[in-house]
Amino acid sequence: HVVHSGLDLARFANAQWPQEAPLLLGTAVGEPKPPVVLMLAALEPRKRHVEFIESFGQVVDRIPNVRLLVAGEGPARSAVESAIERSPFANNVRMIGYHREPERLISLADVCVLTSMREELPRVMMQYLAGGRASVISHLPGVEEIVKHGVNAIVTPAEDVGAAAAAVA
């Protein structure tokens, strides 16, 4: 037997929303939660945050009050921030940086996305699934060992970030 990546997945199954949810979402306390798309990944070019933000208009066109939470840190932070500033949907995108309890962010999400162009077996994909969230995942080597398109996730072509945004919408 091969153990690809050891993870404590139990903590993702029944996680509660983060206490700071209204702040993260840009909503007033007591205001209903808007639909939330979560992109939880290190801010690296291969994760394609910029391209997903550029494609996010497809989602906003269908779901005007949607929020995209971008959670993570990394060397592409300034490029991601610039993409948000350039976006006509900047008010729908929230850069939250590193969060020490990813399971709480996942519990807040309605849809989770992974748009990487290359990965080993993505740990975040397993976290999304353990949290019971609808997920849109790039087709990467090893993904088919865990994900079945249309059953426990939507799998989109790794080279087409726009397809991921369309699947969310």
Question: What share of the chain has pLDDT > 90, as a percent?
Answer: 70
- pTM as predicted: 0.92
Q: Are 138 and 19 in contact (CB under 8 A)?
A: no
Q: Are 79 and 104 in contact (CB under 8 A)?
A: no
pLDDT of residue 12: 84
Q: Nearest to residue 149, comparing CAs of 127, 160, 164?
A: 164
Which domains are seen in the chain, by residue range?
32-168 (3.40.50.2000)
Q: Which residue matches tokens 């162009």?
A: 117
State the sign of the Cα–Cα–Cα–Cα dihedral 71, 76, 81, 84.
negative
Q: What is the largest CA-CA distance in the chain?
A: 50
Average pLDDT over residues 128-152: 90
Q: What is the pLDDT of residues 68-105, one digit of tens each?
A: 999 999 999 999 999 999 999 999 999 999 999 999 99
